[in-house]
Amino acid sequence: MPKKREINEYSTDPAAQQMLIRAEELGIETAFTRADKMVPCNIGAAGMCCKQCGMGPCRLTKSGEVGVCGATLDTMQARNLTRSIAAGSAAHSDHGRDMAFLLKATANGEAEGYTIQDIAKLHMVASYYKIPIDKRSPEEIANDLADLYISQFGQQRGEVVPAIRAPKKRQQIWREQNVIPRGVDREVVEALHRTHIGDDQDPEHILNHAIRTALADGWAGSMIATDISDILFGTPAPILGQANLGVIKEDMVNVVVHGHEPSLSEMIVAASQTPEIIEYAKAAGAKGVNLSGICCTANEILMRQGVPAAGNFLHQELAILTGAVEAMVVDVQCIMQALVGLAQNFHTKIITTSPKVKITGATHIEFDEHHALTVAKNILKVAIDNFKNREVSKIRIPQIKEDLIPGFSHEYINYMLGGSYRASFRPLNDAIMAGRIRGVAAIVGCNNPRSSQDYLHNKVVRELLKNDVLVVQTGCGAIASAKLGLMLGEAGLSEVGSGLREVCETIGIPPVLHMGSCVDNTRILTVLTQMVEEGGLGDDIDQIPAVGLAPEWMSEKALAIATYCVASGAYVIFGGASPVSGMPDRVNDSDAVLKYISEGWEKIYGGKLEFIPDPQKMIEATLAHIDKKRAALGLPAWERDKFGRSGDLRMRELEKLPLAERREAIYGLAAD
């Protein structure tokens, strides 16, 4: 009989705990309880099951065993991993394709409600590809850029154009390895072809194509999505927001937007602010419409519009359990089918909107960019009409929420470090070179009900901050830190090492920077490239003292992100289970795939992928890698408490000293 966990083992978030108690009272299942009941298949989990053809499925449970076709464990694992990476790359890239078509429609005046909001970003992106800018309207430039970007998906030969934005040395490595993607769709299709029965059966050769497929995501599909979202909706800059279920309001019509693409959610934000909708809501007896987000849709509208985040992946069911949500509006990715059944216990309507996603039992109102504002208003009216069906006795909204400052795009980081006239990554590089900042960690990815919600994210973030590691975050990991108050200036600084704190106080930033949604991991690639170009930290990404972590990963997109980061030179650590672990008692079998994606890829790309379930070991491996990279660059070894004497806290202490002592201390600082 599977073991049922205690509520505090399900989640470290007190708001989630309140809702899980409520679910128990009502006898309602959630992903947390379903995870208890659904014992994972240890053969499939370890990548040792193949169902690629009708002679199988073949499960390799004994040492040396092969499938009916003769496929070995290594081949099976390489094929399974590559198929996951292809699916993840397809999801991100299809999002990018939709954004490219939206840009085209906007440029041609065919997309109701959309405008080009960030002309500076449009000019910058166009200039990467030598699209003429002078004396041309934003629409003309956007039309050319849209055509170029649309062509990247179906391109058959050559190289996807955003790859030229990588450091020169990195491009050279990719060319030598022949892994620069020719076109996004071509690489995904070839990944499926190669892993079909009777095709590519050399594990390393299969995995080389996994690299090319993942690069089609990171340096094409996702990068295109981020570029166009910024051009159409504005490049994010710091803005005040809030996170957690306490953002749901009892006296308003609550609409929770969930999924990934900002095209619809931005329009719902716009529609909710129109007098027509505000009046409609008031006529229904509510004070107005209260929008909030879940998952990466939350991140998109949080960092651009300050719309609050109701939570991350594992909050999607919990939001409905508040009993106060009139509609959950979903588009694509990370949407649990269980939402529909759960919502039947309340008045909540689940509204699907993407032509690609329907859920049996949900209301489908299809989104069409040509009539986006009209569709958005219709959706909101359905939600408002549902307000009267609320059962007040069922409402339980946890009064828990935290403020945060999201919106740290790479453009804003560049600006904040140097100001309007000398925007530059120099101060960041200098702080790393001096040892004030030991290194950088990108902590990204999902929640997974197999571990306690947010526990791994927050444990790793907190420990790294104490060790002067600057943390950047995206996706559901970012919302985990936001819920903890680590993304709000001084509030987050109490737990931070003295050197990092000094830098944060000087620049005026939180120690954890929210950089966006999961497609926005490409912003991290851009930051790393700009750090290389700034100088002092080597001539390629693999030399920077930086690590990528996804402590609570669950989606195939996370595997695609990990792989393009590795191919870009990063050490990537995943928590939880490894999809290519093999079985521990199969001592005679090789662990060739595990070794190849770690040691093998490191030899070629300087980056490696490892699965480390224990958070303490994850932290130790991160710090050891950062220190190794510092030493290789000839930088001074990091020393705890070496810096911190010029930060705001120290200045406040000095103010209390007699004048002579204060002068002496300040002159001492100047000599540092």
> CB under 8 Å to 176, separation ≥6 — which residues?
none
Nearest CA-CA partner of 60 in 581, 598, 559: 581
Q: Which one, 66 or 631, has the nearer CB to ligand SF4? A: 66
Stretch that binds ligand SF4, among 14-22, 52-60, 281-289, 564-572 (CB under 6 A): 52-60
Binding mask 440-479 for ligand MSK (x = CB under 6 A): -----xx----------------------------xx---
Among 19, 20, 31, 67, binds ligand SF4 (CB under 6 A): 67
Contact between 666 and ligand SF4 by CB under 6 A: the answer reads: no
The site partner of 445 among ligand MSK, ligand SF4, none (C-beta below 5 to 8 Å per kind) is: ligand MSK
- Give whichever of 66 and 240 is closer to ligand SF4, judged by the CB atom: 66
Which residues 208-267 are close enough to bind ligand MSK by CB under 6 A?
260
Query: How many alpha carbons lie under 13 Å from residue 566 in its C-beta half-sphere?
Result: 32
Q: Are strands 349-352 and 363-364 parallel, antiparallel or unpaired?
A: parallel
> If contact means CB under 5 to 8 A according to the sort of partner, which of ligand SF4, ligand MSK, none does residue 499 touch?
none
Q: How many angstroms separate the most distant Cα atoms in the chain?
A: 86
Residue number, 71 or 329, with CB nearest to ligand SF4: 71
Type of residue found at 103: L
32 counts as binding ligand MSK under rule CB under 6 A: no
- Residues 126-185 touching ligand MSK, rule: CB under 6 A, are none
Name which of ligand MSK, ligand SF4, none residue 197 binds, using a CB cut-off of 5 to 8 Å depending on partner kind: ligand SF4
Pick the closest to residue 306 from 416, 399, 407, 379 (CA basis).
407
138 binds ligand SF4 (CB under 6 A): no
How big is the site for ligand SF4, counted in residues (CB under 6 A)? 13
Q: How near is the Cβ of 340 to ligand SF4 at its closest, in Å?
A: 33
Determine which helix (DSSP H) or strand (DSSP E) holds 443, and give its type and residue range.
strand 439-443
Cβ atoms within 10 Å, residue 368: 13
Yes or no: say if 237 and 113 are a contact pair by the CB < 8 Å rule: no
Q: Does 663 bind ligand SF4 (CB under 6 A)?
A: no
Report the C-alpha gap between 445 and 518 in whole angstroms. Answer: 7
First CA to last CA distance, the chain: 63
Report the amino acid identity of residue 139. Answer: E
When CB distances are held under 5 to 8 angstroms depending on the partner's kind, the choice from ligand SF4, ligand MSK, none that residue 493 binds is: none
Tokens 């705990």 -> residue: 17
Q: How far is CA 68 from CA 51, 199, 315, 400, in A?
A: 11, 15, 43, 55
The site partner of 67 among ligand MSK, ligand SF4, none (C-beta below 5 to 8 Å per kind) is ligand SF4
Which residue among 222, 555, 568, 598 contacts ligand MSK (CB under 6 A)? 555
Query: Which three-class secondary structure state does DSSP give residue 55?
Result: coil
- Tell me: does residue 318 bind ligand MSK (CB under 6 A): no
C-alpha torsion sign, points 476, 482, 486, 488 = positive
Residue 334 binds ligand MSK, judged by CB under 6 A:
yes
Between CA 640 and CA 536 the distance in angstroms is 22
Of the pair 197, 651, the CB lying nearest ligand SF4 is at 197
Q: Which is nearer to ligand MSK, 311 or 644 (CB)?
A: 311
Residues 476-535 within binding reach of ligand MSK (CB under 6 A): 476, 517-518
As to burial, measured by CB atoms within 10 angstroms (0-12 exposed, 13-18 middle, 19+ buried), residue 168 is: exposed
- Which of the stretches 199-207, 346-354, 551-559, 621-629 binds ligand MSK when contact is defined by CB under 6 A? 551-559
Q: Please say which residue, 68 or 632, places its beta carbon nearer to ligand SF4.
A: 68
Strands 546-550 and 241-243: unpaired
Q: To which residue do tokens 């599909």 refer?
A: 221
Within residues 178-207, the interface with ligand SF4 by CB under 6 A covers 197
447 within 8 A of 312, measured Cβ to Cβ: yes
In angstroms, the CA 440 to CA 641 distance is: 18
The single residue among 296, 351, 379, 384 that binds ligand MSK, judged by CB under 6 A, is 296
Residue 513's identity, in one-letter code, is L
Under the binding rule (CB under 6 A), the answer on residue 148 touching ligand SF4 is: no
- Minimum CB distance to ligand SF4 smaller for 206 or for 465: 206
In the complex, which residues of this chain contact ligand MSK (CB under 6 A)?
260, 295-296, 313, 334, 445-446, 475-476, 517-518, 555, 557-558
In the complex, which residues of this chain contact ligand SF4 (CB under 6 A)?
50-53, 55-58, 67-69, 71, 197
